[in-house]
Chains A and B, each alone.
Chain A
């Protein structure tokens, strides 16, 4: 039975989650201890800043209490503190939850890409430690496949929701690619660093940095292999810039319409994209009058982020439909898979009987050529398989429709004496 237990940002506040958090270096030890618990056959631990979840394959429901007890003790947490905040799922619900988590439908920001990588890493660690088996392998691989389907068949991850990713998205609506584009950074604060990092990761290779404090500009430029200049020379360098980001504490605009018009003349009206993240604004809003200049400030970014979050939410309906479909298929296969040992035993028994009877029959003849023996062997095997084909299909069908697999297994064992 697949069993999942944990807590996340929706059910528990940060102070509880951080106490329950399992550090990366501790995970292997906890995994080994987890599978030592009686009736726990497989285990995986997913521990991120927004959730801690223990996924296991247990052969008896009693093991679930033991799992919780183990973690309460290991984390020195009282059961009463956490019980009402944690959630637990079994079988179908556990599968559904895993698929949703992998597809980032359960994340704080729906559609975020990090969680899938975190799940894959958690699975890899569990595999390395040797605490995964058939159940978890199948389930997690399927979860990764479902996550890929959701990402490609819906637009859930398409719409950026951070300032940096919105900046890159907007830049890519203006410029075909960012590789040969020049980015000018006016300011060297933390927000500037984040956005600049995003642009750098998106392929920008040339960065110019300027700041009131030249030392900070040099520090920032070094991170992105950029060059620096003094703030007084801003008008001279502006024509070179395709993307200009401004975020300083200046009380007055640093870039005005006249400066931009002059720069655009030099650029022969190749479009320019300006991002003003300052409060108060450091770029004169009148520059939007220029037809080839695009200016966005913090308010615009906030509006876009909010719209994109709404758009992602709308994609959830399609994503949930994919998950429901995949869950149904997976559970059917899982139910069929539970009958695999019995079905294999059935075929082995039939083949053994066929071999025994064939041997008896061959002894009755004086001379049987190897070809004749081979043909007879094939015939007996084929008869055995064809006789069993119908019953095996019915067994699989019954396994899909029935909840009580142990009774079915027991019945088959008695019927066929396997």
Chain B
């Protein structure tokens, strides 16, 4: 099982290194190599994810699914964001996620609950929603870098290819709304799934509580943002903090917890 994952690890490490190199030595050939490697990694990673859905799905698989979502979002983002910083963040992030998957508790055979249609929808909603919040943190970081550069009123060569503030803000707004929508779907389907197989919509499970808190927090933030009570640097710092917390908690939960929910498995 680990052979393909090891190849992914090496691939992501190599691509992140190329991205770092192209930050200091901008060359078309380096960009093309990154793109080509990224496509190859995406194809391999898709294969891994599809294989995982046919086998017991646990913590390592969750981490790999999350990182697969990140590589997918890389291709979506690079349509408008061409800075090497994007590649560095995504590929090094994926390197760490794949590496972490090696130390996550191994999967245990799942019961009949995982054969329900609600299960994959819940899983994808929750993981992709969280993934979009992490991507939001990345976009907000780029926003803060660009603001810093503009406020300093010099041209930092390192950040020259950052997109416009307005582009980043618009992308960020779309990302968070989409993430919130997916998270809502994940929560609702999760509740129905838990009721169907475990006789209760809600059991104050740690993951459930954390997901609900995240959902609520982002919901309030999006509402305040839409009325422009929340904007600029303050908004960006909030998204960076919240997104980083979502990412870290997701990784920690998958490394420390043997089951995603206490009522599943065992």
Identify the A interface with B (CB < 8 A).
152-153, 155, 158-159, 170, 172-176, 268-271, 288, 291-292, 294, 296, 300, 303-304, 307-308, 311
- Least CB distance from A294 to B in Å reads 5
Inter-chain pairs besides A176-B167, A304-B154, 8 sampled, C-beta below 8 Å? A158-B160, A174-B164, A270-B231, A271-B165, A288-B151, A294-B150, A296-B153, A304-B153
- Least CB distance from A282 to B in Å reads 17
Give the chain B neighbours of A304 by CB distance below 8 A.
Answer: 153-155
In the assembled complex, the Cα of A390 lies from the Cα of B155 at a distance in Å of: 58
In the assembled complex, the Cα of A152 lies from the Cα of B150 at a distance in Å of: 26
In the assembled complex, the Cα of A291 lies from the Cα of B231 at a distance in Å of: 10
In the assembled complex, the Cα of A158 lies from the Cα of B170 at a distance in Å of: 25
CB atoms of A174 and B150 under 8 A apart: yes
Q: List 9 A-B contacts (CB under 8 A).
A: A173-B146, A174-B166, A176-B164, A269-B231, A271-B165, A291-B147, A307-B155, A308-B155, A311-B157
Give the chain B neighbours of A152 by CB distance below 8 A.
Answer: 28
Give the chain B neighbours of A176 by CB distance below 8 A.
Answer: 163-164, 166-167, 170
Identify the B interface with A (CB < 8 A).
26, 28, 146-147, 149-151, 153-155, 157, 160, 162-167, 170, 228, 231-234
Give the chain A neighbours of B232 by CB distance below 8 A.
Answer: 269, 271, 291-292
Give the chain A neighbours of B150 by CB distance below 8 A.
Answer: 170, 173-174, 294
- Least CB distance from A305 to B in Å reads 10
- 4 closest A-B pairs (Cβ-Cβ)? A268-B228, A176-B166, A300-B153, A269-B231
- Least CB distance from A319 to B in Å reads 13
In the assembled complex, the Cα of A270 lies from the Cα of B231 at a distance in Å of: 8
In the assembled complex, the Cα of A390 lies from the Cα of B33 at a distance in Å of: 39
Give the chain B neighbours of A159 by CB distance below 8 A.
Answer: 155
CB atoms of A271 and B151 under 8 A apart: no
- Least CB distance from B214 to A in Å reads 26
User: Known interface pairs A153-B28, A291-B234, A292-B231. Does A175 touch B154 (Cβ–Cβ under 8 Å)?
Assistant: no
In the assembled complex, the Cα of A316 lies from the Cα of B160 at a distance in Å of: 18
Closest to A314 in B: B157
The one of B154, B162, B163, B165 in contact with A303, judged by C-beta atoms closer than 8 angstroms, is B154
Determine chain B's interface SS by DSSP, over half rule.
helix
Most buried by A among B146, B153, B228: B153
User: Known interface pairs A300-B153, A308-B155, A311-B157. Does A268 touch B164 (Cβ–Cβ under 8 Å)?
Assistant: no
- Least CB distance from A187 to B in Å reads 21
In the assembled complex, the Cα of A92 lies from the Cα of B160 at a distance in Å of: 37
The one of B146, B153, B160, B231 in contact with A268, judged by C-beta atoms closer than 8 angstroms, is B231
In the assembled complex, the Cα of A174 lies from the Cα of B232 at a distance in Å of: 12
In the assembled complex, the Cα of A172 lies from the Cα of B160 at a distance in Å of: 12
- Least CB distance from A323 to B in Å reads 17
Give the chain A neighbours of B166 by CB distance below 8 A.
Answer: 174-176, 271
Closest to A169 in B: B155
Give the chain A neighbours of B167 by CB distance below 8 A.
Answer: 176
Give the chain B neighbours of A173 by CB distance below 8 A.
Answer: 146, 149-150, 162, 164-165
Give the chain A neighbours of B153 by CB distance below 8 A.
Answer: 296, 300, 303-304
CB atoms of B164 and A291 under 8 A apart: no
- Least CB distance from A215 to B in Å reads 34
In the assembled complex, the Cα of A308 lies from the Cα of B155 at a distance in Å of: 8
In the assembled complex, the Cα of A159 lies from the Cα of B161 at a distance in Å of: 11
Give the chain A neighbours of B157 by CB distance below 8 A.
Answer: 311
CB atoms of A172 and B228 under 8 A apart: no
In the assembled complex, the Cα of A158 lies from the Cα of B26 at a distance in Å of: 12
Closest to B150 in A: A294
In the assembled complex, the Cα of A71 lies from the Cα of B166 at a distance in Å of: 56
Closest to B228 in A: A268
Closest to A318 in B: B27
Closest to B152 in A: A300
CB atoms of A172 and B164 under 8 A apart: yes
Give the chain A neighbours of B151 by CB distance below 8 A.
Answer: 288, 294
Closest to A155 in B: B26
- Least CB distance from B149 to A in Å reads 8
- Least CB distance from B222 to A in Å reads 16
- Least CB distance from A272 to B in Å reads 11
In the assembled complex, the Cα of A168 lies from the Cα of B208 at a distance in Å of: 49
- Least CB distance from B73 to A in Å reads 20
Give the chain B neighbours of A269 by CB distance below 8 A.
Answer: 228, 231-232
Give the chain A neighbours of B228 by CB distance below 8 A.
Answer: 268-270
Give the chain B neighbours of A303 by CB distance below 8 A.
Answer: 153-154
- Least CB distance from B104 to A in Å reads 40
Closest to A153 in B: B28
Give the chain B neighbours of A268 by CB distance below 8 A.
Answer: 228, 231
In the assembled complex, the Cα of A311 lies from the Cα of B233 at a distance in Å of: 29
- Least CB distance from B31 to A in Å reads 11
Closest to A299 in B: B153
CB atoms of A291 and B233 under 8 A apart: yes
- Least CB distance from B110 to A in Å reads 46
